[in-house]
Amino acid sequence: MPNPLKTLCTVFMFYCFSICLTFFNSRCIKVFPYPLSITLLHMIIKFLLSWFVRCALSWLYNCPRIELPWAKYVRVVAVSGISSALDIGCSNWSFEFITVSLYTMTKSTSVIFIVMFSVLLKQEKKQPSLAIIVVLITCGLFMFSYESTQFNYIGFLLVLAASFLSGIRWSFTQLVVQGQCYGEFSYALFFQVC
């Protein structure tokens, strides 16, 4: 049975890091206006850290490295990795055009795309409740962004594209996780997606 305190701490840490990273990226784009270079650096750092952790934990605990067949890399992991890079790139690029508040409101639509791709990839069953959730989120986004003072069409479309790519990324990541027993070794997933 999961520990509720541990779950709350994990969710709290996720949101703290997510908010800090959003503001950090927003400031970085204003100082260094090359969002794709920032994304490339982000992916390189993520790859190196996951490689280091993978090697260190494999050596420390003497556990086998998780390997995937090449067919799965090409069909599933590559899609997840490429959509991850494009998601981060579009998100960073959007900071040149829109505010953090509009970014946050628009990026919250990624749930819609995650649900959509989950249904398309048969990870979720079609249910009326899912359709109601999607409609409510769409209406909420429309109300938040309607006549926004800092609205920029290009920035809005970039974040919407990032949300779409996020849906692809998380749905295909779920396909990888369902096919492998990662357990405590979730760092291996980061390595393979990078």
Q: With 60 as the cut, is the pLDDT of residue 64 above it?
A: yes
**DSSP states along 70-87:** HHHIIIIIHHHHHHHHHH
Residue with more model confidence, 15 or 180: 15
pLDDT of residue 40: 85
pLDDT of residue 34: 84
Residue with more model confidence, 189 or 104: 104
Number of structural domains in the chain: 1
pLDDT tens digits for 9-42? 888 888 888 888 888 888 888 888 888 888 888 8
Q: 138 lies in which domain range?
A: 4-193
pLDDT tens digits for 118-177? 989 888 888 888 888 888 888 877 777 666 666 788 999 999 999 999 999 988 888 777
pLDDT of residue 194: 55
pLDDT tens digits for 73-126? 777 788 888 898 899 889 989 988 988 888 888 888 888 899 899 989 888 888
What is the per-residue burial (b if ≥16 Cβ within 10 Å, else e) of 4-21?
Answer: eeeeeeeeeeeeeeeeee
pLDDT of residue 186: 53
Q: With 70 as the cut, is the pLDDT of residue 191 above it?
A: no
d(CA 39, CA 93): 9
pLDDT of residue 193: 58
Residues constituting the chain: 194
Q: With 60 as the cut, is the pLDDT of residue 180 above it?
A: no
pLDDT of residue 168: 93
Q: How does residue 188 score in pLDDT terms, banded at 50, 70 and 90?
A: low
Q: With 60 as the cut, is the pLDDT of residue 60 above it?
A: yes
Q: How far is the CA of 67 from the CAs of 85, 162, 176, 189, in angstroms?
A: 22, 29, 12, 10
**DSSP states along 148-188:** -TT--HHHHHHHHHHHHHHHHHHHHHHHHHHHS--TT-THH
Contact call for residues 178 and 124 (beta carbons, < 8 A): no
pTM beyond 0.85: the answer is no
Residue with more model confidence, 132 or 183: 132
